[in-house]
Amino acid sequence: MINFQYYLYKSIGNRVRFYRKNVLGQAQADFIEMLKGEGLFMDRQRLSLIENGRNIEGKNPYLLSETQIDLFQKIYKISRTKLLFGEYEERMRLIKLILLSLLMNGISNTKTNQQWHPFFVDPIEDESEFIRTSMLNLTNQSLKEEATTVFIGHNRAKTKNIVARISDYLHEEYPFFFNKTNRRDYQLLASEYEQEFEKSSNLFLKLLFGNLDYSMDFFDSLLNLSQQLDEYKQAPTQLLLNRGQYGDLAIGWLEIRFPLFIKAFNEVWKRHGKRFCDFFQSQLFDCRTEHFSSNNVMKDLTSDYVHSLLISEEFISLLEELLTIDEYTEETMIGHNYARNLLQTTINENLKDDRIYSKDIYDEEKYFYDVRQLNFLVKQSNKLNAKQSRLALFACNYVEIKKVSE
């Protein structure tokens, strides 16, 4: 279950403290006196509990009472939504973190037995692993080569310098995914494995296939694993049925494919971010709706509630709608066509490539092969000439294919 309530209480506490210290410029004692003047009696211990995001049964079981919410937003001169969930940018960040947690669905690293996190390794936590993964996934060739030299040569003298330069580069290129605050807050939210999340998790994963490069790379890895490891043998069929966990594969184990994942995720957000924002605004951030009690909204803002949202018919329908749109949109349909074709070929054992050259007729096997090739040719179109493109297709042996005249 996504630990929404824990995250929410911590972020509200930070916000209450921030406004008291940085906006009002008051010490706790002065703030307590101000509350007293407004008719709310609160001791220092109770305020400290709130500011530290700690709820204690019998004192503040839901962190804030309805009276406290109303008074805090009055004193701070902010809306209820802003008090509970932060500024617009912070709410958008929360949605992204929830979607990432849903995608990962608690999958663990079998070597460390710890959950995978879809963020760059923190160099302070593990400097060696930071350099190793940088060596694998940096797109800046110069930095990549330097990271490789430092990692392989165990050159401690150059480590500090290369770590600083890589950090600057990652912060510039991937500001959301190389961010200590986002990584920390993701860890607060991160879900344990939930079977009920599998459908929505895999539907969101499929949205990433709108990026052709990502789609091809993901399925190359998935099919290789399905052929080599028994535990992945049924993975293509399971993915088709929206079953199973693929978060580690989705992020490329934070190695070579990770920048591709980030690009695909950012593209999904650019295409559909507003739809996700509208959903969470109406279902979560708008605390005056029928979903919440008028007596104490905090009582209903629970991890269970967010869990129910992510498996709800409304959210599943939203994901299915967005996926259908992407499958028929020019900029994303080729990636989805590639994914669909690979799944069709893999699941139907009679459509394997090993017998494709022995037949004289143009049948389903050659058709599916040509579809895959056409997707590949789209990706490589700027590198191939017309003759090379024709030779890549079985159809050229049965019909004449000419370049269209301008």
Stretch among 9-18, 85-94, 120-129 having the lowest mean pLDDT? 120-129
At 79 the three-state DSSP class reads coil
* Per-residue pLDDT, 292: 77
Tell me how far CA of residue 340 lies from CA of 210, 219, 295, 365, in angstroms: 11, 10, 49, 15
Place of tokens 């969470």: 280
**Long-range contacts for 218-224 (Cβ within 8 Å, ≥24 apart)?**
218/249, 218/250, 218/257, 218/339, 219/338, 219/339, 219/342, 221/249, 221/252, 221/257, 222/246, 222/249, 223/342, 223/346
In angstroms, the CA 33 to CA 139 distance is 56
At 365 the three-state DSSP class reads helix
| Distance spanning both ends of the chain, measured CA to CA | 57
What is the full DSSP assignment across 224-240? HHHHH-GGGTTHHHHHH
> What token pair was written down for 176?
């959301």
Half-sphere exposure at residue 202, Cβ-oriented, CA atoms within 13 angstroms = 17
DSSP 381: T
- Over residues 26-40, the mean pLDDT reads 93
pTM of the model as a whole: 0.87
* Per-residue pLDDT, 350: 45
Q: What are phi and psi of 108, to 5 degrees?
A: -110, 155
Q: How many residues does the chain have?
A: 406
> What token pair was written down for 243?
């079953």
Average pLDDT taken over every residue of the chain: 88
**Amino acid identity, position 253:** W
In angstroms, the CA 93 to CA 87 distance is 10
Contacts of 367 (CB under 8 A, 6+ apart): none
In angstroms, the CA 189 to CA 123 distance is 22
In angstroms, the CA 167 to CA 179 distance is 10
| pLDDT-above-90 percentage for the chain | 63
pLDDT of 404 above 70: no
Sign of CA dihedral 196, 197, 200, 205: negative
Asked if residues 219 and 206 have their Cβ atoms less than 8 Å apart, the reply is no
* Per-residue pLDDT, 351: 47
Place of tokens 């399925």: 219
pLDDT in tens, 207-259: 999 999 999 999 989 988 888 888 888 898 899 999 999 999 999 999 888 99
Tell me how far CA of residue 288 lies from CA of 6, 82, 91, 283, 315, in angstroms: 22, 13, 17, 10, 20
CA dihedral 26, 32, 37, 38 (to 10 degrees): 100
> What token pair was written down for 329?
């949109």
pLDDT in tens, 12-29: 999 999 999 999 999 999
pLDDT of 110 above 50: yes
